[in-house]
A = this chain, B = another copy of it.
Amino acid sequence: MTSTYKYPRPALTVDCVVFGLDEPELKVLLIRRDLEPFRGKWALPGGFVHLDESLEDAAKRELREETGLEKVFLEQLYTYGNVERDPRERVVTVAYYALVRLSEHRVVASTDARDAAWFGVHDVPRLAFDHDRILKAAYQRLQNKLRYEPVGFELLPKKFTLRQLQRLYEIILDRSLDKRNFRKKILGMEVLEELDEVEADVAHRAARLYRFNPKRYREMVKRGVNFEI
Contact = CB atoms under 8 A, between A and B. Distances in A.
A79 B78 CA distance: 8
- Chain A interface, DSSP helix/strand/loop, else mixed: loop
6 contacts: A4-B5, A10-B49, A10-B51, A12-B92, A51-B83, A52-B83
A82 B94 CA distance: 13
Contacts of A48: 7
Given A76-B79, A81-B94, 11 more contacts: A3-B8, A9-B11, A9-B51, A10-B51, A12-B92, A51-B83, A53-B83, A54-B82, A55-B79, A55-B92, A79-B79
Interface of A: 2-12, 48-49, 51-55, 76, 78-79, 81-83, 90, 92, 94
A60 to B, nearest CB: 13
A51 B3 contact: no
Nearest to A147: B226
A51 B90 contact: yes
B76 A55 contact: no
Nearest to A3: B8
A9 B12 contact: yes
A163 B105 CA distance: 54
Contact of A49 (B4, B55, B92): B92
Contacts of A11: 5, 9
A83 B49 CA distance: 11
A79 B94 contact: yes
Contact of A7 (B3, B6, B92): B3
Contact of A78 (B7, B10, B76): B76
A82 to B, nearest CB: 5
A21 B6 CA distance: 40
Contact of A3 (B9, B12, B76): B9
Contacts of A81: 49, 54-55, 94
A6 to B, nearest CB: 6
A188 B54 CA distance: 46
